[in-house]
Amino acid sequence: MAGFTTRTIHALENVEQGAVTPPIYAASTFLQPTEGGEGEYEYQRGGNPTRDNAQQTLAALENATHAFLYATGMAATAAALGTLRAGESVIMSLPVYGGNYRFATIELPKRGVEHRFVNDPNALTDEDFDDSVAMVFLETPSNPTLRVADIQRIADLAHRNGAVLVVDNTFLTPYLQRPLDLGADMTVQSATKYLAGHGDLLGGVAATNDEALAEELFKAQLISGGVLSPIDSYRLLQNVKTLALRVDRQQENARRVIEAIQDHPAVSRIHTPGSYSAEETEIQIRQADGPGAVFSMEIADGKNIQAFLGALKVFGFAVSLGGIESLLCLPASMTQGAYSEKDLVTAEISENLVRVAVGIEDAEDLISDLVGALDAA
């Protein structure tokens, strides 16, 4: 099998006229044969050549037979959770992204689907599954505490109890972690983040090797209409070709930044994938090819977080991650703002927790900026 970046660039077949990049098909509708039957494409919502090109490429990277692109990452997650039926339930790791939390706590009850949050999915056993459990939904590493869950073990456990495993792989992407190879039934990602990587488009992707799930994911596109546009599909297709290059740089920058601040008196703790325990360290090393470029740090008690934020010049104070620009945020009031106070405590997300997403800027500038802001705190 060809390497990751080679597959990213050469996944497409039969590009028209020998062009090194495929054309953009912006048409909302397609002419149909007048003698009867249907053409390959009929209406953009149901299918589009440009979106198909991007889906084919992303499927190749996931080692999946099917990938489906949606207008946002939450639309992809909604499609995945939308495969649940009334009377069924989902076990969901906590913490999860605030949008996933909101969908589970607000939308699923309307559909007659129950949810149960678990703080440590590695502790799940057969006794946690009753006849209603149809899905386990994991984020690994988790957002924003970077907790790590054992994908292969939980996949085996879910399958033994008649459930499917869905893994949100946004933080690591298939470049660093391939959940389908580890037994997961479906992956979802916010393509807005690392896949697109430039902070200028929204998108989501769900991938699977399961034909029945693939049919459900396609129906979610067709029925909801929440599909990625041809223009954004093309831009995503081009941007993802540099994914490995960007992530390599971001990981190295993150490593150097962490080394520079880990002993700073304004930082009481740093969270990285595997840092929670020796067990999670072993799992992370076994199932992933790198830690990614997101970490979280806890500002020490008595330090001034507002002074810290006000002193930043390179890091942006904003939600999102995975882009070429470095960003940081306060999850308790931003990305996890929908959480109940109880679930914030359970998930160990304090007001002092800062999530840091490292970009591709010069590491020396990032270190100087962050150290200077911590000094100001």
110 is catalytic: no
For the question of residue 168 being annotated catalytic, the response is yes
Q: DSSP H helical segments within 11-72, as ranges?
A: 49-62
Catalytic residue, from 193, 246, 249, 355: name it.
193
Q: Which of the following is catalytic: 97, 194, 234, 339? A: 97
Q: Is 153 a catalytic residue?
A: no
Count CA atoms closer than 13 A to 352's CA, side-chain side: 16
Sequence-distant (≥ 6) Cβ neighbours of residue 3 within 8 angstroms: none
Catalytic residue among 168, 185, 232, 343: 168
CB 186 within 8 A of CB 54: no
3-state secondary structure at position 352: coil
Distance of alpha carbon 98 from alpha carbon 320, whole angstroms: 12
How far, in Å, CA of 10 to CA of 1, rounded?
A: 12
Q: HSE on the CB side for 172, CA within 13 Å?
A: 26
Taking the CA atoms of residue 106, residue 107, residue 113 and residue 115 in that order, the dihedral angle to the nearest 10 degrees is -40
How far apart CA 267 and CA 257 sit, in angstroms, is 13
Provide the 8-state DSSP code for 89.
E
Radius of gyration of the chain (CA): 21
Q: How far apart are CA 84 and CA 66, in angstroms?
A: 19
- CA-CA distance, 99 to 72, in Å (whole number)? 11
Q: Write down the catalytic residue from 7, 25, 41, 45.
A: 45
Distance CA 92, CA 138 (A): 6
Nearest residue to 124 via CA among 93, 89, 81, 167? 93
Residue with tokens 């073990």: 153
Residue 70 burial (10 A CB sphere; 0-12, 13-18, 19+): buried
DSSP 264-281: -TTEEEEE-TT-S-HHHH
Active site (catalytic) residues: 45, 97, 168, 193
